[in-house]
Amino acid sequence: MKRTLRQAVLIVCLLGGVSLAGQEAPYFVTYDHHLEEPGNLEISVANTGGLARADQRTYFAPYLEFEYGTKAWWTSEVYLEWQSTLGDSTIFTGWRLENRFRPLKREHRINPVLYLEYENINEASRIQKEIVGNASEIGVRNSELQQGAAHELEGKLILSSNTHSWNIAENFMVEKNLSENEGFEFGYSVGISRPLATLASASNCRFCRENFVAGVEVYGGLGSSLGFGLHNTAHYVAPVISWQVSDNTALHFSPSIGVTHDSDPLLIRFSYTYELRDFGKKVAGLFGR
């Protein structure tokens, strides 16, 4: 399995050498350097569904995401998340506050972004917006997992490049559980994507190729400061595709294939996104500012 993982990462990196220009990438785990436009509010309804192994249960983890362009160099997001396990229960699993900062204004060959997130969740969280540390146990009942509160800080170094029609992004993650003495947990993700067409068609259509962006991302855990490496970690190879349905709505879909014994065999991810443009100005106008 480790050989399969190394081969998958190598394929993504080689493709990256070939080379999205100005379009939002379709990734679910990997971040690129594009931030939300200042004053715009993007609302997403998403779900991560996990097809569990034979001795475990399938689960669904829906979440709401509110992304706001605070400044041209600063985007903030709030997540509200739930989890439902077949034959068990449905519970609220917590919330997250995320901030991304882009230190360089202009486009560069490699564009760095700094990421900081606070998580107030419990052990039943399954949205898997990141995979860090060692694989978690998912055979425990929700009533027990819900008792395990976790206050966590997560940081990421995001590196992203646009070359011709391609976007290549690499993320390195560090997470610290402030509620437990687990050391620092590490993870990674790598993504590459491009639009199916780079030239707009003469007609205005929703199904034109330029409205679709496709790619692949590879992500997984790298153990912790107590035991760094690939032992007992989950890793996934995930084709990704997004469809720009209209000027302010988009659909994203990804089947993530587990490539190690400690991974779920399959994660099904999808999201619907709606963007409210100039939201900040409209709210300020209501208060006479």
The pLDDT tens digits for 201-227 are: 767 788 899 999 999 999 999 999 999
Provide the pLDDT for residue 224: 95
- Among 38-42, 85-89, 169-173, 188-192, the least confident range: 85-89
Region at 105 (left for phi over 0; alpha for psi -120 to 50; beta for the rest): alpha
Amino acid identity for residue 131 in this structure: I
Confidence at 138, pLDDT banded by 50, 70, 90? low
Provide the pLDDT for residue 286: 86
Residues 6+ apart with CB under 8 A from 268: 47, 48, 49, 51, 254, 255, 256
Domains in the chain, number: 1
Domain assignment present for 208? yes
Range of the domain at 101: 2-34+87-268
Provide the pLDDT for residue 20: 36
Residue 279 has pLDDT above 90, yes or no: yes
Domain assignment present for 60? no
> Is 203 buried (19+), middle (13-18) or exposed (0-12) by CB count in 10 A?
exposed
Domain assignment present for 275? no
> Which structure tokens are listed for 67?
């992304």
Which candidate, 182, 193, 180, places its Cα nearest to that of 30? 193
CATH of the domain at 186: 2.40.160
| Distance of alpha carbon 154 from alpha carbon 61, whole angstroms | 20
Q: Region 66-89: what's the mean pLDDT?
A: 96
* Average pLDDT value for the chain: 89
Phi, psi of 245 (to 5 degrees): -70, -40
Residues 62, 202 contacting (CB under 8 angstroms) = no
Residues 194, 215 contacting (CB under 8 angstroms) = yes
Domain assignment present for 49? no
How many other CB atoms are found less than 10 A from the CB of residue 139?
10
Domain assignment present for 210? yes
Q: What is the percentage of the chain residues whose pLDDT exceeds 90?
A: 73
| Distance of alpha carbon 12 from alpha carbon 243, whole angstroms | 22
Residues 36, 67 contacting (CB under 8 angstroms) = yes
Domain assignment present for 201? yes
Domain assignment present for 50? no
Provide the pLDDT for residue 9: 44
Residue 99 has pLDDT above 60, yes or no: yes
